[in-house]
Amino acid sequence: MSYPFPNPGLGTYRLEGDTLRLAIDSALKHGYRHLDTAQFYGNEQDVGAAIAASSVPRSEIFLTTKVWWDRLEPQELKLSVDESLSRLATEHVDLLLIHWPSPNDEVPMRDYLTALKDVKVSGKARNIGVSNFTIAQLSEAVEILGNDEIVTNQIEVHPFLQNRALVEHCRKLGITVTAFMPLAVGKVMQDGTLKQIAERHGATPAQVTIAWLNQLGIATIPSSTKERNIQSNIEALQLTLGDDDMAAISELDRGERIASPDFAPEWDQQ
């Protein structure tokens, strides 16, 4: 499966300090080349320091960060990006995302997406995209920016929230889906169906889940602090599931959304 960025990426939400540094060191050692952070995570400085201390050159690392929803007014957005770059100690990010659409369209989408494109034109972001955009919002975004500008829509996808309608819409628009919380904050490890499939393949339920997403053409950014899990997650891409396995996992969808803050958009019906 071909993606417009290295897959999997290392998600860094809720990681900081030495824990984050060790996770990044482990990820880079085992072949990861995509690191995902955000302004909201409060760890951009730690991510930047870990990259600077690594033996892997910055030019080989695909770095993603995201603009928080309270900084979408165009001048604020651009200022926030400069602040992110300073914390990350880099001249550019490889992917810059709008973390959440503006609540209740307080800032018009055209305004903040135009500012996002300006950041790309300036060279401070090599690629741009969105996160947590619904079907309607994604269509509007493509209408504003044109085809081939939005690299990804980063959304919650895991066996218990398969988000099929939105995933299919992204596919039709030629936009890669990146799944955050792909392991449903560890819940996949307790699922009986995933355990059975994992046993048959000599794998873990987490590996089965990442392989399932990969076979659907969905990139992932799992987070982990343990080296064995970080290694296991990247090795999952070598696993091939059968049609029966894929069908069994498709039956696990129960619309269980984990990330749904009060400023979230009105989610699509599945």
The rounded distance, in Å, linking the Cα atoms of 74 and 140 is: 18
Two structure tokens written together for 140: 């509007």
For the chain, the first-to-last Cα distance in angstroms comes to 25
Which of the following is catalytic: 3, 32, 41, 112?
41
- Measured over the CA atoms of residue 259, residue 265, residue 267 and residue 268, the dihedral's sign is negative
Round to whole Å and give the CA distance between 35 and 25: 11
Phi-psi region of 185 (alpha: psi -120 to 50; beta: other; left: phi over 0): left
Contact 159, 188 (CB under 8 A): yes
Q: What is the edge-to-edge ordering of all strands in the sheet holding 150-156?
A: 10-11, 34-36, 62-67, 95-98, 128-131, 150-156, 176-180, 219-220
Query: Is 35:61 a contact under the CB 8 Å cutoff?
Result: yes
Give residue 221's identity as a one-letter amino acid code: I
Closest CA to 128 of 156, 103, 153: 153
- Whether residue 41 lies in the annotated active site: yes
Neighbours of 130 (CB within 10 A): 26
Q: Is 99 annotated as a binding residue?
A: yes
* Helix ranges (DSSP H) in the chain: 17-29, 44-53, 74-88, 109-121, 135-145, 164-173, 192-201, 205-215, 227-235, 243-250
Residues β-bridged to residue 202: none
State the binding site. 99
State the binding site for substrate. 99
* Active site (catalytic) residues: 41
